[in-house]
Amino acid sequence: MVKEKHFFRSEEDTDFMPIIPINEHESEQDKNLVIPGILPILPLRNTVLFPGVVLPITVGRDKSIKAVNDAYKVDKLIGVLAQTDANIEEPEPKDLCRIGTVAKIVKLIKMPDGGTTIIIQGKRRFELQEMLSEDPYFKASINLFDDDILPVTEDFHAYISTIKDLAGQIIQLSPNLPTEASIILKNIENPSFLINFVSSNLNSELLEKQNLLEIHDIHERAERLIFVLQRELQFAELKDKVTNKTRTEIDKQQRDYFLQQQLKSIKDELGGDSNEREIADMKKKAESKKWPEAARNAFKTGIAKLERMHPTTPDYSVVYNHLDLMLDLPWLDITADNYDLKNAKKVLDMDHYGMGKIKTRILEYLAVLKLKGDMKSPILCFLGPPGIGKTSLGRSIAHAIGRKYVRVSLGGLHDESEIRGHRKTYIGAMPGRIVQNIRKCKSSNPVMILDEIDKIGSDFRGDPSSALLEVLDPEQNHTFYDNYLELEYDLSKVLFIATANNLQNIQPALRDRLEIIDLSGYAIEEKVEIAKRHLLPKQKEAHGLGKVNFKINDKVLEKIIENHTRESGVRELDRQLASIMRYQAKELATKNKLKSNVTMPDVEKILGQSRYSNEIYKTANMPGVAVGLAWTYVGGDILFIETILADGKGELKLTGNLGNVMKESATTALSYLQANARKFGIDPADFAKKNIHIHVPEGAVPKDGPSAGVTMLTSLTSAFTARKVKPFLAMTGEITLRGQVLPVGGIKEKILAAKRAGLKEIVLCSLNEKDVNEIDRSFIKGVQFHYVKTMQQVVDLALV
């Protein structure tokens, strides 16, 4: 263990307190002092005596008392040597240092307890030559050292000044030494005495002091003393820093305690602590709360922790907010379902036109719930193009069955914590969106719309779609774990309804958990009904025309849909009707009257010329141009396939931003046509002489898929045979090298797109007939369908 070193010795630390002599120049007067060669020896246990320094010594050993008394009676001179080991009670000659100081006994005082106290002053340094006797006390022959010769160099004067400065700083940093000591120190003029006095007052180990005493050269002794003083000054500064820091901390704690006591007294006068009232309110709420046992126990633990915490601690708000969330969550609170199937059907029909498949599924769910009383909610996914009412249908379902409605927008979500929540130890942590919305709607069985589930992203922050796997699995979601809540929450009673435009963007594991319900685009007849029942009343009300009586008949609505919109949903139609309402509002505001009917000329005046036209399909097409049907995530669409032949070496060129599958369809069509050229009246040699260029217009739009196979083969055959394709004819289907036509998907969207475009005939694979039969016959009135199995049948039907 390192022995702690302090600076100047205080009264509490030792029995020895060096005294400055009344006359520091006494040493000059002692030059004539006669010192005998044999002196009695006084061992000192705890200190070293330096020349010129006065020390009070309490003498306790019998030998030492006898030596002091004999010396005091003769010439009052005695030799003082330090013990090498202070723990030895009865030292022997070998236990004494070889160099010491001749001392003069200035005063001898007999104490009442039989002890003796003497005041001695160091005179000259000596070296022990030989110990002559040990009994009754030590007596030895000595060799005196010459007095210190003082150098007159500037270096030595600098050393003396440095010693004074360092010693003064140590005195200032030592609380047990009087500040007057530094004043006395500065007034010492004798350099030799200054060095001896400072050395004597060092709080160093005895060996350090003895080493200073044994240095003969005063210049070297001063240099060594400066080194020791610098070391002790550093220690004094460190000790002072620690003491001040501790004192400051204690003062701050006392101040805080005092202020807290005052604050508590003030709050008591005002009627109690607000924090205590908040905790009491929480406990009161918890008593009437219906929640699982695990949640109750967690709340009790949290509230007990909150009571022990001071409101100013950082964790107080974290624990408080967590408990507040637990109290706000509905847990076992649910709304009663309305099992009136007729009323539910009426509400659904009133809010949305069509959509029979979804309405039937919801009514089936309600019927089972009515009979069984409880069942796991299905996880539905409404799949269809934008603008057809998927999200608003969710609100209607909630209204129909009497449940709360919440919507969670998932489009562009990247962070997994948005679903599962953040751990509450983070700053700004919150529960996930699922728990937040449950908290907001105050019911554990709402209808929750997960909007745009196909547009969830994923990056370095996690994959939210993987976090949804637990939410949307009926076997797991009764124990959904939110990181912030840190408890399991039952989501099994929530009716989740996801909406999506493109099924391919949903990861397979998540797609497997969803009950997919396809929603196709609307036919023109459906759009007319939707406009009359929903869009027109809404826009009239929004533009202040709710009480004004004017009409837009079905024919005008149909023309608006055909000439100014080309979409699967009704959003663009809604915008066009809003434009008409704004015009009507302006007319009413300026002329104070309106026409009773909006006519086609009025529509052209308001909306301008037709944006879309079917005339393109009526023009006499050149050979090599065929009309195909395509499916996009916004609904069905029409595309042209154009083929042109030029003299060359039989090369095939494909343009129009085509995907790999579509390019392969073109290659397959050409190979089949080459293999069966004579059947179609084509000279096989033409394929080697002509370069073939197939182009699909709207090159900025990427296109892919196998459904254009029959259209490409028809276009190629038309180009090689110079026979035109029948007007108002569209087709869709995949082909094989054997000439068979295979079925494709998206039939309803494609047929509705053909109907919107004014096409009259559609060629389909015979296996797609079942898809056509699912469409309301009134929507496809006026369209003739041709079902084929081979490409020969397609060519026979298509070419004039």
The residues annotated as belonging to the active site are 707, 750
Output the furthest CA–CA distance in the chain (Å, rounded): 157
Q: In whole angstroms, what is the distance from residue 788 CA to residue 742 CA?
A: 9
Angle at 226 between CA 223 and CA 230, to 5 degrees: 145
Structural contact between residues 71 and 80, judged by C-beta atoms closer than 8 angstroms = no
Structural contact between residues 517 and 383, judged by C-beta atoms closer than 8 angstroms = yes
DSSP letter assigned to residue 531 = I
What is the Cα 563 distance to its own chain's centre? Answer: 51
**Pair of tokens at residue 72:** 């005091």
User: At 599, phi and psi to the nearest 5?
Assistant: -100, 175
Q: In whole angstroms, what is the distance from residue 82 CA to residue 84 CA?
A: 6
Neighbours of 321 (CB within 10 A): 15
What's the Cα-to-Cα distance from 459 to each of 229, 462, 618, rounded to whole Å? 64, 6, 50
**Pair of tokens at residue 254:** 């006392």
What's the Cα-to-Cα distance from 180 to each of 168, 184, 186, 529, 742, rounded to whole Å? 10, 6, 10, 107, 113
Helix or strand run (H / E) with residue 514: none
Can you tell me which residue has the tokens 């979409």? 567
Q: In whole angstroms, what is the distance from residue 441 CA to residue 433 CA?
A: 12
Q: 149 Cβ partners below 8 Å, 6+ apart?
A: 218
Q: In whole angstroms, what is the distance from residue 740 CA to residue 318 CA?
A: 69
Where in 111-252 does DSSP place strands (E)?
116-133, 139-144
Q: Count Cβ atoms within 10 A of the Cβ of residue 460 and give its class: 0-12 exposed, 13-18 middle, 19 or more buried.
A: exposed
Q: In whole angstroms, what is the distance from residue 86 CA to residue 98 CA?
A: 15
Q: In whole angstroms, what is the distance from residue 335 CA to residue 405 CA?
A: 11
What is the Cα 284 distance to its own chain's centre? Answer: 34
Single-letter amino acid, residue 429: A
- Coil, strand, or helix at residue 691? strand
Of 60, 160, 68, 53, residue with least CA distance to 107: 68
Q: In whole angstroms, what is the distance from residue 248 CA to residue 197 CA?
A: 35
Can you tell me which residue has the tokens 């996880």? 379
**Pair of tokens at residue 657:** 């931003």
Q: In whole angstroms, what is the distance from residue 323 CA to residue 320 CA?
A: 5
Q: In whole angstroms, what is the distance from residue 18 CA to residue 517 CA?
A: 103
Structural contact between residues 18 and 55, judged by C-beta atoms closer than 8 angstroms = yes
For the chain, first and last CA: distance in Å? Answer: 112
Q: In whole angstroms, what is the distance from residue 622 CA to residue 263 CA?
A: 95
**Pair of tokens at residue 570:** 């009704």
